[in-house]
Amino acid sequence: MSLIESGLFKPQLLIDGIWSAAADGSVFAVENPATGEVIARVADATPADAGRAIMAATRAQIAWAETSVLERSRLLRKWFDLVMLNQDALAKILTIEQGKPLAEARSEIAYGASYIEWFAEEARRIYGDVIAPPENSTRILVIKQPVGVVATITPWNFPNAMLARKLAPALAAGCAVVAKPAAETPLSALALGQLALDAGIPAGLINILPSTHAKEIGEAFTSNEQVRKISFTGSTAVGKQLITQCAPDVKRVSLELGGNAPFVVFDDADLDAAVEGAIASKFRNAGQTCVCANRFYIQQSIYDTFCEKLISAMKGFSIGNGLDNGITIGPLISNRAQQKVQALLDDAISRGAKIACQAMQDDSWQAGHFFPPTLLVNVPTDARLTCEEIFGPVAPMIPFETEAQVVQFANASEYGLAAYLFTRDAKRIKRLSDQLQTGMLGINTGLISNAMAPFGGIKQSGWGREGSRYGLDDYVNVKYLCESFS
């Protein structure tokens, strides 16, 4: 079945349950990063469209907040079922606009859907509280109410999952959403919108505004009084701008921002497990995840052995168009991304780092934005790639001697999203769990994301948590009722 026949290829705006063109009729091209081919011309939302979407969401939210949690739960569950039923078509859309291999795209669809399933269940568990009052003639009750209209802005690296993990808790809590997906990858978001309509989720609750006018759409969201919350996933720089824009209205803000994950391997670790964790954490999505291992700290006595094992595992990569069989590493998202990763690599080499392994360039890469997986040794601690997000398949190896030294290295970052620790020493696990300054820590594993766990960072990696029972907190207001019986 072709994508058109699947009914999920929707290159338009979704406003109030209706697919429409942009107010000024403009469109923009979306390209396949593996081939450079234009795969769609998508309606390019303007601030006027954002205004229309916010009005629709405001109307829809009032009615939605009145529905029972059971009804919300059932509709979310139906949406989850439809997403999983259409996993293959959604994965294909994801691969052609984002570049990740089809197998990874299928995993992302299941991962995104797991948040819809989880919040379909959590919708039934929006508990309040009864609190002991200061005197017996009063009763203190706490109820949770939906925040209202939520605006979401999401990036291109997980165009399905990053949006699903905002839409699902928002709807479960009784909110409506206006969503701006990344301009590079709008089609996955729009397909999710179609399936929400098919599931019977009422018109106006999910509005989707693909646009190349990110700044203007962001301002249309933050300056509109009807929007009571912004939920953003993306770079720390844009997150900071949005905080400033939300200040005048004191809008609530949730932020999932950049990371700089340290990956620490001690000499008592299971090295094969550490290599497996390194492959998953560093090279998934061609190194373009916010929780990617960004800096490898390897204890001196096992440094050479670990590097050799990792190089041997990297030789098994198959790099190319994600639609082709057996491909394990796809392209980067854009030419700009390629240039940034190359600049970080050049900087490290100019400071003394050496390339110990780099995949051979292939002619079939010419039209796309491929970057060869690379392992760097002798990386000095002042190289730019130890403090900036690489967002590409480059693994810098840095030796360390002592636990105290590596804790200092790991914490020397303004980011605090994820860290990874490989050791068999239980007491060391306890000490580093306390000392490492991140929101998430993978202990003897390189894979940490799932819908049941609270995903999020500290320091400049963000505010709030997505997934888990904490994931609803960002979409509800706590109201305290004081009843007097005197």
Residue 326, classified by CB atoms within 10 Å of its CB into exposed (0-12), middle (13-18) or buried (19+), is: exposed
What's at 303, amino acid-wise?
Y
Q: What one-character-per-residue DSSP string does 202-244 give?
A: PTTSEEE---S-HHHHHHHHHT-TTEEEEEEES-HHHHHHHHH
Nearer to ligand NAP, 233 or 468 (CB): 233
- What are 325's two structure tokens? 């069989």
Q: Is 156 in the site for ligand NAP (CB under 6 A)?
A: yes
264 contacts 420 by C-beta, under 8 angstroms: yes
- For tokens 């306390």, the residue is 434
Binding residues with ligand NAP: total (CB under 6 A): 29
CA 330 to chain centre: 18
CA-wise closest residue to 6 among 91, 78, 80: 91
Instruction: Select the residue interacting with ligand NAP from 86, 98, 152, 157 (CB under 6 A).
Output: 157
Instruction: Select the residue interacting with ligand NAP from 53, 196, 257, 348 (CB under 6 A).
Output: 257
Nearer to ligand NAP, 86 or 154 (CB): 154
- Each residue 275-314 as x (binds ligand NAP by CB under 6 A) or -, in order, gives ---------------x------------------------
CA-wise closest residue to 180 among 228, 227, 225, 232: 232
Stretch that binds ligand NAP, among 31-39, 82-90, 92-100, 227-235 (CB under 6 A): 227-235
Distance from C-alpha of 110 to C-alpha of 105, rounded to nearest angstrom:
9
What's at 317, amino acid-wise?
F
Catalytic residue among 256, 307, 357, 389: 256
Q: Is 153 in the site for ligand NAP (CB under 6 A)?
A: yes
Catalytic residue among 175, 246, 290, 357: 290
58 contacts 149 by C-beta, under 8 angstroms: yes
Q: Is 336 in the site for ligand NAP (CB under 6 A)?
A: no
Question: CA-CA distances (angstroms) from residue 171 to 167, 175, 200?
Answer: 6, 5, 13
357: helix, coil or strand? Answer: strand
Nearer to ligand NAP, 183 or 458 (CB): 183
Stretch that binds ligand NAP, among 97-105, 157-165, 304-312, 405-413 (CB under 6 A): 157-165
Nearer to ligand NAP, 107 or 235 (CB): 235
Nearer to ligand NAP, 188 or 299 (CB): 188
Q: Is 234 in the site for ligand NAP (CB under 6 A)?
A: yes
Question: CA-CA distances (angstroms) from residue 26 to 19, 133, 156, 186?
Answer: 15, 59, 21, 15
The rounded radius of gyration (Å) of the Cα atoms in the chain is 23
Least CB distance from residue 470 to ligand NAP, whole Å? 14
Nearer to ligand NAP, 73 or 233 (CB): 233
Q: Is 225 a catalytic residue?
A: no
Instruction: Select the residue interacting with ligand NAP from 241, 364, 437, 445 (CB under 6 A).
Output: 241
Phi, then psi, of 260 in degrees rounded to 5 = -155, 65
Nearer to ligand NAP, 35 or 152 (CB): 152
Stretch that binds ligand NAP, among 156-164, 278-286, 392-400, 423-431 (CB under 6 A): 156-164
**CB within 8 A of 304, min separation 6: which ones?**
none
CA-wise closest residue to 6 among 69, 67, 77, 96: 96
Least CB distance from residue 154 to ligand NAP, whole Å? 6
Distance from C-alpha of 5 to C-alpha of 325, rounded to nearest angstrom:
23
Q: Which of residues 167-186 bind ligand NAP (CB under 6 A)?
A: 180, 182-184
Q: Is 235 in the site for ligand NAP (CB under 6 A)?
A: yes
- Each residue 198-217 as x (binds ligand NAP by CB under 6 A) or -, in order, gives --------------x-xx--
Q: Is 256 a catalytic residue?
A: yes
54 contacts 227 by C-beta, under 8 angstroms: yes
Q: Is 256 in the site for ligand NAP (CB under 6 A)?
A: yes
Residues noted as catalytic: 256, 290
What residues make contact with ligand NAP under the rule CB under 6 A?
153-158, 162, 180, 182-184, 212, 214-215, 218, 233-235, 238, 241, 256-259, 290, 389, 417, 457, 462
